[in-house]
Amino acid sequence: NAGVTQTPKFQVLKTGQSMTLQCAQDMNHNSMYWYRQDPGMGLRLIYYSASEGTTDKGEVPNGYNVSRLNKREFSLRLESAAPSQTSVYFCASRVQGSTDTQYFGPGTRLTVL
């Protein structure tokens, strides 16, 4: 049981390049989330998927797209990377029910030059 996994762990892009961050969970959770973490800003929600087949914008969606490929996988795409997207990206998933806890992946550290 690996929990939430993210690939890659590190990535360096040039301005204008595109890439997809991958996230998978093996806990049979319905909801999945993408956050970015910047120094002094805490975590801010980019997009989330309440269930397979649905996605919604969070607090900072501009410049990103997402795909909920199936129940396990939720990817985040940067179509044209900008230096302002340099950040650490975390994926999380949530079990519905009484616990309502979000479980986080180890993060992807992205640098855009």
Partner 1 sequence: AQSVTQLDSQVPVFEEAPVELRCNYSSSVSVYLFWYVQYPNQGLQLLLKYLSGSTLVKGINGFEAEFNKSQTSFHLRKPSVHISDTAEYFCAVSDSGGSNYKLTFGKGTLLTVNP
Q: Cβ 16 to partner 1, closest distance in Å?
A: 28
Cα separation, 13 vs 20, in Å, equals 11
Cα separation, 113 vs 60, in Å, equals 20
Cα separation, 111 vs 96, in Å, equals 34
Q: Coil, strand, or helix at residue 110?
A: strand
Q: Coil, strand, or helix at residue 64?
A: strand
* From 29, 36, 68, 94, residue interacting with partner 1 (rule: CB under 8 A): 94
| Residue 107 touches partner 1, criterion: CB under 8 A | yes
Contacts of 3 by beta carbon, 8 Å cutoff, 6+ apart? 25, 26, 27, 103, 105
* From 58, 63, 67, 72, residue interacting with partner 1 (rule: CB under 8 A): 58
Using CB under 8 A, which of the segments 15-23, 34-42, 64-72, 78-86 binds partner 1?
34-42
Using CB under 8 A, which of the segments 17-25, 29-37, 61-69, 74-82 binds partner 1?
29-37
Which residues form the interface with partner 1 (CB under 8 A)?
Answer: 4, 31, 33, 35, 40-45, 48, 50, 56, 58, 90, 92, 94, 98-107
